Each structure stands twice: as C-alpha cells, then as structure tokens.
Structure 1
Amino acid sequence: MTIAVDKLSDPAVRRLLGAVNAGDRDAFFAALTEDATMSDDGSARDLADWVDREIFSSHGHIEVQTEKSGGRALVADYRNDTWGEMRTAWRFTVTPDGRVSHFETGQA
C-alpha cells in the first residue's frame, strides 16, 4: 500500500516529492536550500546534473511505501525512463525554515 505524496508527514519532503511527481523543476529547486547537496548510493553527486538526468529529463516518479523519522526517511518505488522501476531508500535533512538541505538516495 502506497502513501500519497500529499499525505507525507514532513511538509518539506512533501513539497520536494510533489515537485518530482509533477515534473516541476522550479518547484523542486524552490523546496531546496541554495547550497543543497545530495548523494546516490553513498557517493556525492552534482545535484543539478543528477536531478536533470535522473528525474526531469527521464520522467521520474516516486511512490512512497513507508516513512519513518517524521517523514524524513522513506522507502519508495522509483521509476524513470532510463532505469525502469526500483525499490529505493531516501533520507532528507530539513532546515528550520522548512527546506531540504541534503538528501540521500539509493537502492533499498
């Protein structure tokens, strides 16, 4: 059973993943701090390059299966046109002003 993105516990994560599923790059970056960072399978990545390649140019979509840590740790089925569908884990660091400053993703 999936958890609808608009029902996720953390508002910052909800905004970020809502932007992913809407294909809205501007809203995605608005949900991040200006100096946001990310990692994929434990390796730091260039955020803008990764997001364009793995989400926006390849029609990324996320379906959350479970959430923990107040909605900042997720297991989700993620799919895009490049890799198909895979079970992924996501962790988010959220600043006091309610934006994501870092996220980690990788295979679950």
Structure 2
Amino acid sequence: MTELDPAVQQFVDAVNAGDAEAFFKTLTADASMSDDGQERDLADWTASEIFSTNGRMKVESVSGPTEFVADYSNDRWGGMRTAWRFTVRDGLISRFETGQA
C-alpha cells in the first residue's frame, strides 16, 4: 500500500485529534483549498466543517502519497465518502481539494 506524504499524514492525524493548532502547522501561510470544486476560505471552512463539528476521517484507500479516499464524518453532515488531493511544498501543504467521491 502506498504511504501518505508525511505532511498529509500529519494533516489526517490533526483532523482526527481535533487539534486545530497541529492542523494549521501542516499548512503553508498561503495555503488554499476547494470543496466540491468551489474555492473556499480555508479558515472559515475548517472551522465549520472540521473543528466546530467534530470532523473525523478514516482513510479507505490511498492512490498516491498526496491522494486518498476517506470516509469523512462530522456532526453537521454525518458520514460521506470523500476524495482528498494535496499539493505539498517544502514539507507543508500549500493546497488541498476535497469533494464527494
């Protein structure tokens, strides 16, 4: 099985720990993201979709060091199958894209 890039693994671990401080340490200062193809404000999105709603992800399959499919759940939407893709620059995540898989 392909292993995740260390920055991506730290991202997953921080989400699952509910640790916003550790989460933001995985990102570049200018990090950006999209959800279902729509650009989102990263701070607002992570607050509403991860940290204030108990977001958790269980990685189901890894297609490369920066791509995986996960069962993602939070208190707002319940569970859903999601695809995640990351751009890693100098050991930090500069962009991530997620959406239903």
TM bucket normalised to smaller: over 0.9
Could you say which residue in structure 2 is the equivalent of 1:40? 35
Specify every segment of 5 or more residues in structure 2 that has no aligned partner in the other structure, as ranges: none
Consecutive aligned runs of 4 or more in structure 1 exceeding 4 Å deviation? none
What displacement does 1:14 show?
A: 0.5
SS of aligned partner of 2:87: strand
TM-score, normalised with respect to structure 1: 0.90
CA distance, structure 2, for counterparts of residue 53 and residue 26 of structure 1: 15
Could you say which residue in structure 2 is the equivalent of 1:67? 62
What displacement does 1:8 show?
A: 4.2
CA distance, structure 2, for counterparts of residue 67 and residue 10 of structure 1: 11
Percent same amino acid at aligned positions?
59
CA distance, structure 2, for counterparts of residue 9 and residue 93 of structure 1: 12
Indicate yes or no: 2:3 matched with 1:14.
no
The size of the alignment, in residue pairs, is 101
Could you say which residue in structure 1 is the equivalent of 2:81? 87
1:89-104 equivalent positions in 2, closer than 5 A: 89-95=83-89, 97-104=90-97
Q: Which amino acid aligns with 1:12?
A: A
Q: Which amino acid aligns with 1:94?
A: V
What displacement does 1:9 show?
A: 2.4
